Structure 1
Amino acid sequence: MKKKFHLMDVNELRQEREHALERMDVLIERAGKERRFFSPHEAAEFDQLEATVNEIDQELASREAKRTVDPALLPQVGDHQRGTSMGGPLERSNGLLAPEQRLADITPPPAGASTVGLGQFLRGVFTGAWDAETRALGIGTPSAGGYLVPEPLAVQIIDLARAQARVIQAGARTVRMDSATLTLPKLTRDPVPSWIAEHATVTESDPEFGSVQLEAKTLAVLVKVSRQLIEDARPEVEPILRNAFAQSLSLGLDKAALYGAGTATEPRGIVNTSGIVVYDMGTDGAALTDYKPLLQAYQLVLANNHTPTAAILAPRTLVEIESLTDSTGQPLQPPAILRDLRMLPTTQVPTDLTHGTATNASDVFMADFANLVIGVRTQMQVLPLQELFAANLQVGFVAYLRADIALIRPGAFAVIRGIIPPA
């Protein structure tokens, strides 16, 4: 029976969407580990789950489109706490997209264009045999930089990568870049109100505005696929291929958002952005013995008039937190303000960082992640590596897109540095 999504509130819709995506990941992972295609039953289930996600996305987009917030405005304290987002109307170019919104909703396919699957496209890149459907889209001839992926297909992969990226799950927003650079406004100082007597002059306190510049940089990934899989390019392999590309891109976005060096070729990540707040575990690091470091980081964000939406951390650190015990050996219960905070583990947070004499340190990122913006160009290119992996009957595909990352308000980000494992 079809669910009545229009009767659900936003949180219920997001939970339903997350459950569907988790089940899709289970199906893909199972088939991938067993090196087989979907069974007819699995294929039908995957299609139904994908349809459910699309319906929920459409419902969320429809609700978002009714909002009148200008997408150029910045996130304000408390907005995410009410279950709303600052994405702005989807019809607007360069609108900031909330995590649940899709680039596909603001990137309609060209009029009359057919839908080309990733398997079809990669088979054409690999064999040079393009069918009528793909030729109609004008692909089959590489440019100097590779084969240009049809935009509707590229956007599907980017949206799937966004869905898997931890920083997006934590609340980071996305903006489509229609050129190599994009300037976003940011509020650098809030206006200060004051109480006044009757007929008294109001004290002037103007807000200060600045800007943040996004400059598209190249993110490249290498995906190896068996030659038989590409030559067959059956419909069942589409989700597996999409997920392989998207997962690689999502890891690259996470790594850059957290640790990017801010060079000419790499975005500037959180740890290398001035203005963030840091809680240090000590000269040579220290193990977590209670929730105090997490509470201190939470307080640092609150002190800058923001409320953390999530914490991103290494899997090792998450297990250490879950293993905390009290004096009687019983599991240590987290304080109330941390109980509902999402803890998102990722291997993109290292556990071999140097902190003083320690060489096994790690970090925790706690922030209002709505203040992190990822700018993405929707053009994506693919280059085949025909011979490099031929001995293993594989073909490599180098896929790359252009993106950049910026923090609108650095004070919304706290990093706990120097967490080492218990002795």
Structure 2
Amino acid sequence: MPKLHELREQRANRVAEMRGLVDKAETEKRDLSEGERGRFDTLKGEVAGLETRIGQAETLANFERHAEAEPLTGHGGARELEARYSIGRALDEFSRTGRLTGAEGEYAAEHRSGRDRVFAAPVSAFLGTEQRYIGTQQPGAGPGGVLVPTNLGPLIDRPRPQLAVQRLGATLLTGLTGNLDLPRQKTSGSANWVAEHAPATKSDPTFDKVSMAPKTVTAKYEVTRRMMIQAPQIEQILRYDIGSLLAQALDQAATMGTGTGNVPRGIRSTPGVRKVPGDNLPPEQSLYANP
């Protein structure tokens, strides 16, 4: 007997073929031909039959899940049920058969899941709930020492430089979609001392513009499916780390960017910016280059 997902796939294929017949006729601005109408009616009957079989299969699968799942009162309640739950067994059985049995099936039934390729699983199945006490022996120090578990605590972050550009008052321009030109006063006129009743000396300011173009900074990690299963907190860790890397790259570009290639021009490389005496460290020796 075909499995439930196979029946659904067969139904989808026939519906897609019916859609193809109708779309072809509409494209050619005509009605369905006699042969196409016959094929359409045949597919319509097959879809109706598949709908009936799918409904029967769903009902049967639901009954089987309730029949094969162990009673909740038979293994000491929800806590012991979660202790017996195996995420590996659940993934293997659900991928092969589309349903769950045993403790996994009971948990899915309690949480009204286990259909449409989705099932519920307790958080303890990912984080673990096992606790043991084997005296004072350390791992490797004696026969019982190897049974002492190692608990995984919170992540210790690496040392990171303090971001400073925005905190020091840099102006942020948001919502930009293209290049940007900023008019700038390059120089001022001059003030002059004159004698009594003497005319003032004329001078002129000068102006130019600063042209800005978008730059792109990226950071990329690759995570395997097994890592996501064994360490579900890895996504949050990497999201934070990538955000910190991008913020640090922006800070470094704003201060030490060379303006060559794809790197923006920073304050240090901008002509005409007055530097503080003693500011003679090369970029590769700066705090940002060696965090």
Q: Is TM-score (shorter-chain normalized) higher than 0.5? A: no
Larger RCO, structures 1/2 (Cα 8 Å, 6+ apart): 1
**TM-score, L = length of structure 2:** 0.34
Greater gyration radius = 2
The structure that is strand-richer by fraction is 1
The structure that is helix-richer by fraction is 2
**TM-score, L = length of structure 1:** 0.25
